[in-house]
Amino acid sequence: MNNTVQPNFFIIGAAKCATTSLASLLALHPAAGISRIKEPHYFSRDENYRVGWPKYLELFTHCAGKKAVGDASTSYSRIRYHKATVERIKAHVPDARIIYMVRHPLKRIESAYVENICTAGSPLFATLNDMIKLQPMIVDSSRYWEVFDAYRHAFEETKIKVIFFEEYIAGTVAAFQDVCRFLQIDDSVVPDLKRERVNSRDEAAARMAKLGRGNFPINTTWDETVRREVLDRLREDNCQLLAHFGKPKSFWGDLF
């Protein structure tokens, strides 16, 4: 009998949509556990995948006895750049439950730009518009329908939960308990929000100072032409997702 602890759910992103918050709260649930490294990026990055399944499972040895065991790697939703991800997850964990968090697409892009500046080793872009022009992944990470559709073709749609960031923030306890029901663990647990981990904009200055980037200005002002181009690229995709989940086109304001 194989008693090795294996993951059975994945928080796949999108980045800057409260995945850190949700993972931290689930880690506190008595029936749930998260990998020692919150984002191991095992299934997405070839160099990590080559390390092998047994080595990856070492990240979950502390989760023995937990019913819901998860990996919260946001790169699992960057399917244009890590094309084998969905296939690899399906091969190793065919009955996995998938949690996908989405957000106002432009606000997510702005937050991702700030996160880039605050991350060691990341290239610096003088403005949000520069990063959009030079690193298209920042926009592609807001192609929510494309990602959802890819996963629902590999897993039953009942095994995929989409969480809207705005609803999660407005009612974190209720959203957390809904996730617990999805993961089939005790949904009466009330999360201790004082122990919630977040990567907030408010912490950006301190993080930048530690990296020696304290004097680098954060410029998230949109060039109107760039903004229109981004919305043109995302409109059909985002509207399809909103419609699928019964949301009006105006859910994220007057974008569409």
pLDDT at 24: 96
How would you class 62 by CB atoms within 10 Å of its CB: exposed for 0-12, middle for 13-18, buried for 19 or more? middle
Query: In sequence order, what DSSP letters do the residues of 117-135 get, joined into one string?
Result: HTSTTPPP-SSHHHHHHH-
At residue 235 the predicted structure's pLDDT band, cuts being 50, 70 and 90, is very high
Q: Kindly tell me if the per-residue pLDDT of 56 is higher than 60.
A: yes
Q: Kindly report, residue by residue over 177-223, the tens digit of the pLDDT.
A: 999 999 999 999 999 998 888 776 667 778 888 888 878 888 899 99
160-164 and 97-102 strand pairing: parallel
- Domains of the chain, CATH where assigned: 9-252 (3.40.50.300)
Residue with tokens 């329908």: 145
pLDDT at 2: 54
* pTM attached to this predicted model: 0.94
Q: Kindly report, residue by residue over 138-154, the tens digit of the pLDDT.
A: 999 999 999 999 999 99
CA neighbor of 163 nearest in space, from 7, 3, 14: 14
97-102 and 68-71 strand pairing: unpaired
How would you class 43 by CB atoms within 10 Å of its CB: exposed for 0-12, middle for 13-18, buried for 19 or more? buried
Q: What is the mean pLDDT of residues 63-77?
A: 98
Cβ atoms within 10 A of the Cβ of 81, count?
13
At residue 3 the predicted structure's pLDDT band, cuts being 50, 70 and 90, is low
Q: What is the mean pLDDT of residues 87-98?
A: 98
Backbone angles phi, psi at 161, to 5 degrees: -115, 120
Is there a contact between 89 and 43 (Cβ–Cβ < 8 Å)?
yes
